[in-house]
Amino acid sequence: MNSSRNSAQDKKIVIAIDGFSSGGKSTFARMLAARLGYIFIDTGAMYRAVTLYGIEHGAIRNGVPDRERLVGMLGEIAISFRFNPRRQASDIYVNGECVEEKIRGIEVSAAVSSVSSIPEVRRKLVALQQRMGKDKGVVMDGRDIGTVVFPDAELKLFMTADPKVRAVRRYEELRARGDDVSLEEIERNIRARDRADQEREVSPLRMAPDAVVLNNSDMTLAQQMEWIEPILEEKIRGI
């Protein structure tokens, strides 16, 4: 992707990536940002960070948020990203503590859709995301980036994959970390999150009308990078 990287040095764009959970959005977005020299912002991690804070401070019990209590805590939560040279990626911090590993657990996964449906939470994080991307040169992934956060993004992608494929990917990731989980539990969680993300009243998961679909069920990451090259070149040439 050398040609895209050289072009992007002079012409910065916003790349908005939306799609279903565990579809490989963050991995794809992180690699794309690295190749272009762009900033990668994992908005899903931001919602997970709020969820983790709620769990640790008693505002979420058994996967159910106490909305009033959690909203009251929002002013206490300072979210930031710091580059981790070991991973060659950014870690997420809450109030100065790195929570990159903590937010990936099944307890957070089970509650994050409920938290992300709370309007006050979305308003706080959308405003933060828009500030982070105001100077362009960013790759941002989430559920409503191309529809709400950056509806004018120059390039919008919608990533999807078969739920069973996504469940296997998530299962292998968690098992590699040493988490004791079952494939069946993860698939149930993924399907439940798909429904919750699409059916919530505030900023539901929708594909932007001008988004390009990437179904990566049968694609390697290298194949996805090859697939995006001509699309990216066309978008950068067009600005």
For 146-180, what is each residue's pLDDT tens digit? 999 999 999 999 999 999 999 999 999 889 988 88
- Taking the domains of the chain in order of start, what are their residue ranges? 12-232
For residue 232 the two structure tokens come to 């990216």
Residue 6 has pLDDT above 70, yes or no: no
* pLDDT at 87 (0 to 100): 79
Distance CA 90, CA 82 (A): 5
Strands of the sheet containing 212-215, edge to edge, are 39-42, 138-142, 14-19, 155-160, 212-215
Mean residue pLDDT across the chain: 91
Mean pLDDT along residues 202-206: 87
Distance CA 53, CA 32 (A): 29
Q: Is 235 annotated as a binding residue?
A: no
Residues forming a β-bridge with 215: 160
Side-chain half-sphere exposure of 216, counting CA atoms within 13 A? 26
For residue 115 the two structure tokens come to 């938290």
The alpha carbon torsion through 227, 84, 11, 19 (nearest 10 deg) reads: 40
For residue 233 the two structure tokens come to 């070149």
Contact yes or no for 163/180 (Cβ under 8 A):
no
Name the band, by pLDDT with cuts 50, 70 and 90, for residue 84: confident
Residue 218 has pLDDT above 50, yes or no: yes
Q: Is 12 annotated as a binding residue?
A: no
Residue 4 has pLDDT above 60, yes or no: no
Q: Is 109 annotated as a binding residue?
A: no
Side-chain half-sphere exposure of 198, counting CA atoms within 13 A? 10
Contact yes or no for 161/24 (Cβ under 8 A):
yes
Q: Is 20 annotated as a binding residue?
A: yes
For residue 166 the two structure tokens come to 């996504």
Q: Kindly report whether the global pTM for this prediction surpasses the value 0.85.
A: no
Q: Is 27 annotated as a binding residue?
A: yes
Q: Is 116 annotated as a binding residue?
A: no
* pLDDT at 2 (0 to 100): 55
Distance CA 147, CA 217 (A): 24
Q: Nearest 5°: phi and psi at 196?
A: -65, -40
DSSP assignment letter at 99 = -
How remote is the C-alpha of 224 from its chain's centroid? Answer: 17
Q: Is 26 annotated as a binding residue?
A: yes
Mean pLDDT along residues 121-135: 93
Fold of 12-232: Rossmann fold (3.40.50)
Distance CA 78, CA 39 (A): 19
Distance CA 27, CA 23 (A): 9
Contact yes or no for 100/40 (Cβ under 8 A):
no
| SS3 call for 170 | helix
* pLDDT at 217 (0 to 100): 96
